[in-house]
Amino acid sequence: MKDRINGMLAEVAQAELTSPEAVEAFRVAYLGRKGKIKDLMAAFKEVPGDQKRELGPMLNTLKQAVEQKVQDAQQATVVRPQASGEDATRPSGGVPLGTHHPLQVVRREIVDIFQNMGFAVAEGPEIEDDWHVFSGLNFPPEHPARDMQDTFFVERDPDILLRTHTSSVQVREMEHRDPPMRLIMPGRVFRNEAISARAHCMFHQIEGLYIDKGVSFADLKQTLLHFARCFFGPDTDIRLRPSYFPFTEPSAEVDVYWGLKTEVDKRITKGTGWLEILGCGMVDPNVLKASGIDPEVYSGFAFGMGIERITMLRYQIGDLRHFFENDRRFLDQFAGER
């Protein structure tokens, strides 16, 4: 059998395959179902065990030599059409360049501002459990956000759901990190809402969390003022209005002064000149305690904003649905954005 293998190796090396037909005949002769390699494989089964260690590698070498010979010959004998004039199937003009989606443009800018302030980026799963979305954030059992009208549950399991806010990432980070921590959490969230010009069942958020010793509400206000002036302009003013969130105490809504220069300004600010952009507050001690952080030692603040809302303000977009329809006429307007 050793002599047969060596003889075939010599035949393979000397074979001249100058046409596609010759290549195919060679392939069938050696690699076909009734080819020479199959015959050798069958004969190899009858070889005494003490000879298989030597003949096995030789048989593999032969098979690889045949396969490489066929591959090289196929590439060498492929029939290529001769170029003759213009290619009628080629698209006319240049290849159009893609554009950055406005939501990604704004998200990137917001993240860059907070990263320059020392915030690291953290992400988490979109399919979550009740603890990380609600219970770990001090939501009482009777809170309306737990109702089916606001939340998408997975396979009717009341403990598994699509996250309704990226605050769930805050809980995960607090469980696995030791203070101090300064994090920003961008991501996609889901709520069971009717789709309209001002609402959607899917949207994007960016939330922030800062926990350390001695963190105060003044730190929160200065952080958000710096962000607003970096994003909206150096003369931007903000105001904080008392509000309520289960996971922060005290809590506030943050407005920026948009102005009343045009009729559009008056309409979107309802004649006040002020426009709400985000919610914030000091992390509730119960939330710190639930994640294993001592509220007697550490304090912190959290904030969250919708990327769609910020983007609509920047580009004066009046219908939220444009972001998700993938309409090229809409996206081409942002070709110059980076």
Dump pLDDT digits (tens) for 241-300.
Answer: 999 999 999 999 999 998 888 787 787 778 888 888 999 999 999 999 999 999 999 999
Q: Give the model's pLDDT for residue 305.
A: 93
Q: Give the model's pLDDT for residue 32.
A: 81
Residue 323 has pLDDT above 80, yes or no: yes
State pLDDT tens for residues 166-181.
999 999 999 999 999 9
Residue 93 has pLDDT above 80, yes or no: no
d(CA 181, CA 119): 8
**What mean pLDDT is predicted for residues 43-51?**
76
Q: Which residue would you say has higher pLDDT here, 49 or 66?
A: 66
Q: Give the model's pLDDT for residue 169.
A: 93
State pLDDT tens for residues 132-143.
888 888 888 877
Q: How confident is the model at residue 320 (pLDDT cuts 50, 70, 90)?
A: confident
Domain limits of the chain? 2-77, 102-334
Residue 72 has pLDDT above 90, yes or no: no
pTM for this entry? 0.67
Q: Give the model's pLDDT for residue 80.
A: 63
**Residue percentage of the chain with pLDDT more than 70:** 92
Q: For the chain, what is the mean pLDDT?
A: 85
Q: Give the model's pLDDT for residue 81.
A: 61
Q: Which residue would you say has higher pLDDT here, 20 or 228?
A: 228
Could you confirm whether domain 102-334 is CATH 3.40.190.10? no
Q: How confident is the model at residue 95 (pLDDT cuts 50, 70, 90)?
A: low
